[in-house]
Amino acid sequence: MKTTVEIPDRLFREAKTAAASRGLSLKMFLTEALQEKLAGPRRPRADWPVPPPQLAKGEMQRIQEALDGEFSRVDPKDWK
């Protein structure tokens, strides 16, 4: 399969040099690099899942009241 991938210039030059020094085409070098990366252990992302925000006491009630107030002004006919 063919695809287009943007690689930073410096990284591209390093990859091309490394491939040539191993006697590989860039395509084969990148294929092997991806296979190795995918075969390795998966690292959990430190920033996922994102914890829910901490709300001040009573803040959820204030938000709900604001939402209720806004929705009470909507004409049910407009929802159809």
Buried b (16+ CB within 10 A) or exposed e, 3-25: eeeeeeeeeeeeeeeebeeeeee
Q: Is residue 80 part of a domain?
A: no
Q: Is residue 2 part of a domain?
A: no
Sequence-separated (6 or more) residues with CB below 8 Å from residue 18:
29
- Band (pLDDT 50/70/90 cuts) for residue 80 is low
**Residues across the chain:** 80
**How confident is the model over 27-71, as pLDDT tens digits?**
999 999 999 999 988 877 777 788 888 899 999 999 999 999 998
**How confident is the model over 9-24, as pLDDT tens digits?**
999 999 999 999 999 9
pTM: 0.52
Structural domain total, the chain = 1
Q: Which domain holds residue 34?
A: 9-39
Q: Are 27 and 35 in contact (CB under 8 A)?
A: no
